Chains A and B, each alone.
Chain A
Amino acid sequence: MGRRGVSVLGSGEQHRTDGVKGKLWRRFVIGMPYLWLSLFFLLPFLIVFKISFSDPIVGQPPYTAFFDWAASGFDRLKATLDNFRFLFEDDLYYTSYLKSLRIAGTATVLCLLLGYPMAYGIARTRQPYRNVLLLLIVLPFWTSFLLRVYAWMTMLGTYGIINNVLVYLGLTDEPLKLLYTDFAVYIGIVYSYLPFMVLPLYVALERLDLDLHEAAADLGARPSRVFFDVTLPLSVPGIVGGCLLVFIPALGEFVIPSLLGGADSLMIGRVLFDEFFTNRDWPLASAVATVLLVLLVLPMMLFQRSQVRETKLS
């Protein structure tokens, strides 16, 4: 600053006005996502959170008021923890949460195992073929998600193409039960969410400096060692990003288990839907949603921490 003091006055003034404008602009740009999140995430969540402390009633709205203004003192507060208590008392919720965690977790691992070699292959492909492969990865998004799940229903059905081929090849005498099983749910989730795994992995692997691989080889590392010593650790941000992008939506997945899963494939998204629309028990549905959110926020916080660590690294 000292040096700026002796510089021509005019240019110093210019700098200051720029600074003020810049500050306002920066505040605006930083403020936008916060405003967005407050309006469309925090506020709705607070409403849901509030409802989860009410009792269901038949009426409009279908839950009791949070405050009873007619009463006095603390009696005014009509909040109840019954809904949360009920979540722990009834096995249904506990098993659904667990099942959702298991399915989402397994599907995430499957996506990682499938997606890593895919991303690696794409990152090592020469242009323009690389762009073609990337295009193929995102191509399914050009069709409606629902349509693609329906397509799987016909393919996995008793007389669907998969069973027909299996029977034709003589691998099985009669059609297998593929549809309405956990297997179908896994197929649906892995198929639908694989691009979300491949893309962040691709970004991480594409950025990797090939010189680093050669340096490791030069220093005496065999190709497999190079992978574990250099490639894998340096692609951790991509792995974490991809896993969260698959795990988080898979945990609350509603459409895939509803259309492809069997009666026993009760995932928490389906429970939530049923409580809300079938039973019209908004408070309980809200409690289910709140607990689900806590389950989701945990891995997100882990992600945040890894991001912070990454920015510290670079």
Chain B
Amino acid sequence: MANDPWDDPSAEPFIRIEGLSKWFGDVKAVNAVDLDIYKGELFAILGSSGCGKSTLLRMLAGFEVPTSGRMIIDGVEMTDVPPYERPVNMMFQSYAVFPHMTVEKNVAYGLKKEGLPKREVVTRVAEMLELVQLSELAKRKPDQLSGGQLQRVALARALVKRPKVLLLDEPLAALDKRLRERTQFELMNIQDKLGVTFVVVTHDQEEAMTLATRIAVMDEGEFVQIGTPAEVYEFPKSRFVADFFGTINMFAGTVTEVNGSHVLIESAEAGTVIRATLRSENVDHGIKVGNKVHAAVRPEKIVISKSPQNDEERTQLKGTVLDLAYYGNLSIYRIKIASAAIVQVSMQNTERRSERAVEWDDEVYLSWDPASSIVLTA
């Protein structure tokens, strides 16, 4: 991972956003954000509705004029450039396919506006339709297409202009689950093939995780964390981010001991002392004895057993099975511990059997590795 551009301080960002703000009256939709995106990235901006992610994307496209700050794309200042002159194209959430034009004409539209010779337009449109597998539907009108096909028209129409950056607004939101998964991989394939930098806006953390090279989590107009999918999932910096990606068990507590990267947290909620090992690069993490923190652990990091584990290093809890759900590949358990808190545990069903190892109302022991404990100060 060392050769990733975002870890290389000498790498030149392809898109640079500096102190960009957009206020609508008193509402700070986007509040002084800084962001570097590198060439060829598939960058996701993730947040719930109203967090400012769409406004940020619309500023990149040129539809919104920033209140302050600037953006640079491939070394050229773009802040005041109108949308029709930006080397950026957008795939709209509604697809915005022109209803009065055939598939072919939709895709050709942008090239015609560039004033390209007719022959080149024809060949490039044909190539692009081939790429998104729409060649057979070239003469169709949009009302004769399915949602998935419309989405590909929108994608082809934006990509045929060979933009430096492709902006995608909730690209998969309007598709059904099966189509989403397929389209996700198609998008990644196309991005890989063309090497265009993608910036995707989404509210769906799963979509962001599977698609993106990096994710910026946005809340109330600001970035709360920027990192690779694994980073934001395994090393969230705040309760907000930890909660945003998947399920997590959280226990409020107080730091009682700090020894290098080893931290002990006494938690009444957990009814025990939680052991945590922080990442080595985070030794200077600023966590001190007496700090009020949250210790968090992902359901799949917890081991469930019927007898106590004899490992001093592991954090151990005792509880009774409240609920269990069998999903085939994995089972999810909800365990009620002494403090009445409920802990969620998920376990891969690695062995093939029909009877359950753990049943409702069973007394069980939960334990996890100190490296799996996440210490959240915010």
Contact = CB atoms under 8 A, between A and B. Distances in A.
B84 A220 contact: yes
A233 B99 CA distance: 10
A219 B99 contact: no
Nearest to A234: B100
A222 interface: yes
Contacts of A60: none
Given A218-B89, A219-B109, A219-B113, A209 B96 contact: yes
A222 B62 CA distance: 13
A220 B161 contact: yes
Interface in A252-277: none
B113 A220 contact: yes
Contacts of A92: none
A314 B113 contact: no
Contact of B94 (A209, A217, A219, A314): A209
Contact of A234 (B84, B99, B141, B158): B99
B90 A218 contact: yes
A279 B126 CA distance: 71
Contact of A212 (B63, B85, B96): B96
Contacts of B143: 313-314
Contacts of B157: 215, 219
Nearest to B109: A219
Interface string B7-51: 000000000000000000000000000000000000000000000
A230 interface: yes
Contacts of A215: 90, 92, 96-98, 157
A221 B113 contact: yes
Which of A215, A220, A233 gathers most chain B CB within 10 Å?
Answer: A215
Q: How large is the interface on B (under 10, 10 to 19, 20 to 34, 35 or more residues)?
A: 20 to 34
Q: How large is the interface on A (under 10, 10 to 19, 20 to 34, 35 or more residues)?
A: 10 to 19
Contacts of A220: 84-85, 110, 113-114, 161
A313 B61 CA distance: 30
Interface string A205-229: 0000101101111111110010001
Contacts of B100: 233-234, 313
Nearest to A213: B96
B370 interface: no
Contacts of B83: 214, 217-218
Nearest to A314: B143
A209 B100 CA distance: 13
A209 B154 CA distance: 15
A229 B99 CA distance: 12
A222 B83 CA distance: 9
16 contacts: A211-B92, A214-B61, A214-B96, A217-B83, A217-B84, A218-B83, A218-B88, A218-B158, A219-B113, A219-B161, A220-B110, A222-B84, A230-B98, A233-B100, A313-B99, A314-B143
Nearest first, the 10 A-B pairs at minimum CB distance are A219-B110, A220-B113, A211-B96, A215-B96, A217-B83, A211-B94, A211-B92, A220-B84, A218-B90, A233-B100
